[in-house]
Amino acid sequence: MSTDTTQTPAEQVVYSNMLFYGCWGSLGLMAVTYLLYISGLVTPHVPLDTVTQLWSQPVKVYLEKGNVPTGWGWLKLIGQGDFLNFTGVVLLSGMTILCYLPLIGAYMKKKEPIFATIAVLEILVLAFAASGIVGGGGH
């Protein structure tokens, strides 16, 4: 009979808990903002009847006819129903960055500067990728 005496490091538990609850919270936020959008309680930037007319069109046509910004330009329209639901998507996609933040302090406290540096670099790489500076995705 073997007994496992190892424990999961506290910083890994914090990371996993943040990721778990953050992902479920993001999904909940997406559901709520989608319901606000389809219910009409929050006015959309592009009316639903226009969206359905543009479904079969290329994205370029939708962007032009709907006067929809590209990249991070959607932030200007965050109060509109069709862009409000992006908040859950952004939170979900940014959870890894948010979860790395407490790791920096935890690793510094444990006197593990290499791991703290890796966490900082990971945040910088992910933030740079999300910034859209490099481009990509054919947009």
Residue 105: per-residue pLDDT: 94
pLDDT at 130 over 90: no
pLDDT average, residue stretch 64-89 = 91
With H, G, I as helix, E, B as strand and everything else as coil, classify residue 132. coil
82-105: string of b/e by CB count within 10 Å (b at 16+)? Answer: bbbbbbbebbbeebeeebbeebbe
pLDDT average, residue stretch 108-112 = 95
pLDDT at 139 over 70: no
Task: Give me the residue label for tokens 């989608």.
Answer: 34
Residue 1: per-residue pLDDT: 57
pLDDT band at 27 (very low <50, low <70, confident <90, very high): very high
Predicted model pTM = 0.78
pLDDT average, residue stretch 116-125 = 96
pLDDT band at 136 (very low <50, low <70, confident <90, very high): low
Taking all residues of the chain, what is their mean pLDDT, rounded to a whole number?
Answer: 90
pLDDT band at 72 (very low <50, low <70, confident <90, very high): confident
With H, G, I as helix, E, B as strand and everything else as coil, classify residue 88. helix
